[in-house]
Amino acid sequence: MNVPTEHLLALAAILFSLGVLGFLTRKNLIIVLASIELMLNAANLTFVAGSRAWAAEGVTGGSPLQGPIFSLFVILVAAAEAAVGLALIIALYRLKQSVALDSAGELKG
C-alpha cells in the first residue's frame, strides 16, 4: 500500500473529531460511550501510521514496534472501559429508567 502517512493521519484526525463531536453533543449515554470508542480507535490508527512511517524510514530496534504495542494496550483498556461504562449505565438505568445524560442532573450548584 503506497499511501502517504499524511492521509492516514488525516483519517485519524477526522475520526477523532467525529468522536469529540459525538461526545459533546449526544445525550444518550450508549452513544456517548460509542463516541469514546471511536476516539480510541483514532488514536490507534495514529499509532499505526506512526509505526509504519518509522519502519519505512528504516529505523530498526524497538521504535516501530512501540506503536502496535501501545495499540494493543489501548484495545485492552478500551474493553475494560466499555465494561465499566456499561455497568454504570445499568446502575443508572436501574435508578432512573433512562440512559439519557440529562437524567444525571441531581447535583447542582
We find the least distance from the C-beta atom of residue 61 to another protein, in angstroms, to be 10
We find the least distance from the C-beta atom of residue 60 to another protein, in angstroms, to be 10
Site string for another protein, 41-70 (x = CB under 8 A): xxxxxxxxxxxxxxxxxxx--xxxxxxxxx
β-sheet bridge partners, residue 18: none
Among candidate residues 97, 56, 51, 95, the one with its CA nearest the CA of residue 71? 51
Q: Which residues, other chains included, contact 51 with Cβ-Cβ below 8 Å and sequence gap of 6+?
A: 64, 65, 66, 67, 68
Q: Please, which of residues 69-98 interact with another protein by CB under 8 A?
A: 69-96, 98
We find the least distance from the C-beta atom of residue 94 to another protein, in angstroms, to be 7
Total binding residues toward another protein, as defined by CB under 8 A:
103
